[in-house]
Amino acid sequence: MSAPAAAGLAYRNRGLLARSALAALLALLALIVLVAGQVSLLASQNGDGGAISPAGLPAGARPFLRIYQDAARVYAVNPFLLMAVHQNEANFSLSTLPGVRSGVNFAGCCAGPMQFSVNGSAFGGSGGTWAGYRYAYRKAKLARPLSYPLRFESPHPNVYDSYDAIYAAAAYLHTLGAGPQLDQRTYQALLSYTGVPPASIPYARRDYKRAQQLQALARTAPTNGPVPLVPGMRARLLANGLAAVPAGAPPAVRGMIAAGNEISDRPYLLQHYPTHLNNPTYDCSSSTSHVLWGGGRFGTAPWVSGQLMYYGQPGPGRWVTIYANSGHVFLYVAGLRFDTSRYGAGPNAGESGPRWRLGPRPLTGFVARHPAGL
């Protein structure tokens, strides 16, 4: 082979090697992107890094989001599966049916917010399937929160305690074969969790479908709340009756506005002692309590208006002011009033029930209070 021919062959070989190396590099990068995408998806489903946003999800689920996420991560199951079972079995620990808070269910077999088999030995201790999974909470990475529905003091484990029961359910579902995806093996695990086929089929289908719905709600919900941000420090009432969040508001205020938007379409019904925050109807005190709860400044048990006269600190606040007397309560959040009474103007002026409203209303006879720091 002549020198020029050899040189030409070497040049072509170098070009081929370079193209091959580039192709290999691009394939490697594509693989990295694919793997990262899968990891990100799993992180979202498992709740790593606080991935589950409360926006769009039922209000009853919100006190438990961190528990679902941690239990799902520790036991490699889907957090929305835990959420669905919790909702369907005990309405997020708010149900008053037999066996949820004490004793056993109507069938005489199961107890607690995740309805574990206890073989008649409920009352916080042992028996049935609960006996094998009652210590699952000991692997938790999340410390027991100070407040959540159905929180019991020691001793633990307690089948009626939501924290203990959710971790036990995650461990049990993992043992039955459930994984981080809502797939066939997770459905098969549900068949065993809910009983013995074919009797368990309708219950497993119900829980599985609800888990899919909850996961879809979490994925499609906007990350900055249900309405857009607006410039400045004051909330704005939109044409659809919802409030826009001011960009300068602190996180607690944003949470309160999102909570108010969540219930602004609910009808009014006088409930002096509302039992929970996921009501189909609201009165003045339960709606005010819900808004405060949305900002992390309130527990899960609403107060009546007379109690709210002593909430927080006296006087108007910078961001939030509550006006309460023995018969009525409402509040201003970032300059916008949330009230069940028909005062003022705007798209909600003629509607009763919890609504964002424009314009002033009489303040004579009301005590002004505000959350600390707001």
The C-alpha atoms of residue 149 and residue 90 are separated, in whole angstroms, by 11
How many other CB atoms are found less than 10 A from the CB of residue 146? 7
**114-139 confidence digits (pLDDT tens):** 999 987 544 444 558 999 999 999 99
Three-state DSSP class for residue 192: helix
Distance CA(202)–CA(221), nearest Å, equals 28
Closest CA to 269 of 258, 284, 248, 259: 284
> How big is the chain, counted in residues?
374
**Which residue shows structure tokens 């926006």?**
55
* Predicted local distance difference test score (pLDDT) of residue 297: 80
Tokens representing 54 are: 């409360």
Radius of gyration in angstroms for the set of CA atoms belonging to the chain, rounded to a whole number: 27
What is the value of pTM for the model shown?
0.53
Q: Residue 290 corresponds to which tokens in the numbers above?
A: 């819900």
Q: What is the pLDDT of residue 41?
A: 34
- The pLDDT, as a whole number, for residue 55 is 64
What residues of the chain score a pLDDT lower than 50? 1-51, 121-125, 221-225, 273-275
Give the number of other CB atoms < 10 A from CB of residue 6.
10
Q: Among residues 337, 308, 339, 344, which one has the least CA distance to residue 324?
A: 308
Per-residue pLDDT at 249: 92
Tens-digit pLDDT profile for residues 44-60: 333 333 346 666 788 78
Q: Mapping DSSP to helix (H, G, I), strand (E, B) and coil, where does residue 237 land?
A: strand
Nearest to 362 by CA among 347, 346, 341, 348: 341
**What is the per-residue pLDDT for 301?**
74
- Residue 159 has a pLDDT of 94
**According to the model, what pLDDT value does residue 183 have?**
94
- pLDDT value of position 347: 72
Those residues whose C-beta lies under 8 Å from the C-beta of residue 260, and which sit 6 or more positions away, are 243, 287, 290, 291, 294, 333, 338, 354, 356
Structure-block tokens of residue 99: 């066996």
Supply the pLDDT for residue 193: 95
Give the per-residue pLDDT at 44: 37
Position 277 scores a pLDDT of 60
**List of domains in the chain:** 59-220 (1.10.530), 229-370 (3.90.1720)
